[in-house]
Amino acid sequence: LAKTTQPISMDSYEGQEVNITCSHNNIATNDYITWYQQFPSQGPRFIIQGYKTKVTNEVASLFIPADRKSSTLSLPRVSLSDTAVYYCLVGLGAGSYQLTFGKGTKLSVIP
Amino acid sequence: EAQVTQNPRYLITVTGKKLTVTCSQNMNHEYMSWYRQDPGLGLRQIYYSMNVEVTDKGDVPEGYKVSRKEKRNFPLILESPSPNQTSLYFCASSPIEGGRYEQYFGPGTRLTVT
């Protein structure tokens, strides 16, 4: 089963770049890696998704090494509004559509 | 507007009184799922559905039922709620495209069972 492991929490100052790494040693060949952001008492919101190498959109970048056993979400120049919990999610693949979120990383942005 | 809606948003009930939490999406997504979120435990999947009449268990299915009679709706049924089912519940939907899951989440239903 492709479970994920992330740091429980991280602190960062405003304006800095933040990198959150997720470990997924048992990722299946056809699984994508997806990151979500969640604010208190709200549903998670999709941030970015990738399969390999690097993906960039208007809010984040996702770096995936060749072995795909980990991934790194990069948030450029964070602001106070980026304070949230970030989840890494991978599918279980092999024809199973059960999805398991990890416990997430609580990012606190300090002024 | 593309969205996932859940009702009710808040519910206080008593042990053993059957309840249903509705979930509806207007994006024609094949995949729908229910999660519960508890402090310190993150999001845990209860049930999911690949399409109409196709459902399967997630990580924590005990005490819950689901049905998928229409593509847009995926209600969560608690036949005999117990206090340990007090939680924040989220419904989500997603298109299916190979191994991609871009889930759209509803606003959540906060359930208290006394």
pLDDT digits (tens, 9 = 90+) for B28-38: 999 999 999 99
Contact at CB, B99 and A31, closer than 8 angstroms: yes
Decide if B61 touches A, using CB distance below 8 A.
no
User: How close does chain A come to B16, measured CA to CA in Å?
Assistant: 26
Please determine, for residue B11, whether its predicted confidence score (pLDDT) is greater than 90: yes
Decide if B58 touches A, using CB distance below 8 A.
yes
CA A48 – CA A7 distance, rounded (Å): 19
Within 8 A of A98 by CB-CB distance, chain B residues are 45, 48, 56-59
| The predicted structure's pLDDT at residue B98 | 63
Please determine, for residue B70, whether its predicted confidence score (pLDDT) is greater than 80: yes
Mean pLDDT of A13-41: 92
Average pLDDT over chain B, rounded to an integer: 93
CA B93 – CA B111 distance, rounded (Å): 20
Lowest mean pLDDT among A22-31, B16-25, B44-53: A22-31
| The predicted structure's pLDDT at residue B99 | 59
What percent of chain A clears pLDDT 70, i.e. is strictly above it? 94
CA B29 – CA A95 distance, rounded (Å): 18
Q: Tell me the residue ranges of DSSP E strands in chain B.
A: 4-7, 10-13, 19-25, 31-38, 42-51, 54-57, 65-66, 76-78, 87-94, 104-105, 109-113
Contact B92, B27 (CB under 8 A): no
Please determine, for residue B2, whether its predicted confidence score (pLDDT) is greater than 70: yes
- The torsion angle over the Cα atoms of residues B28, A84, A49 and A78, rounded to 10 degrees, is 130
Tokens found for residue B42: 């993150």
Lowest mean pLDDT among A15-19, A20-24, A26-30, B57-61: A26-30
Decide if B39 touches A, using CB distance below 8 A.
no
| The predicted structure's pLDDT at residue A31 | 82
Measured CA distances, B56 to A30, A73, B34, B46 (Å): 20, 30, 11, 9
Mean pLDDT of A64-83: 96
DSSP string spanning A5-64? B--SEEEEETT--EEEEEE-TT--TT--EEEEEE-TTS--EEEEEESSEEEE-SS-EEEE
CA A79 – CA A73 distance, rounded (Å): 16
| The predicted structure's pLDDT at residue B1 | 87
| The predicted structure's pLDDT at residue A81 | 96
Q: What is the DSSP letter of A75?
A: E
Decide if B40 touches A, using CB distance below 8 A.
yes
For residue A69, give the nearest of A24, A34, A28 by alpha carbon: A24
CA B73 – CA B27 distance, rounded (Å): 11
Residue type, position A47, single letter: I
As a residue count, chain B comes to 114
| The predicted structure's pLDDT at residue B61 | 97
Which of the listed CATH numbers 2.70.70.10, 3.20.20.370, 2.60.40.10, 1.10.1740.10 matches domain A9-110?
2.60.40.10
Contact at CB, B92 and A41, closer than 8 angstroms: no
| The predicted structure's pLDDT at residue A27 | 86
User: How close does chain B come to A78, measured CA to CA in Å?
Assistant: 23
Please determine, for residue B60, whether its predicted confidence score (pLDDT) is greater than 90: yes
Tally of CB atoms within 10 A around A111? 7
Within 8 A of A44 by CB-CB distance, chain B residues are 43, 90, 92, 103, 105
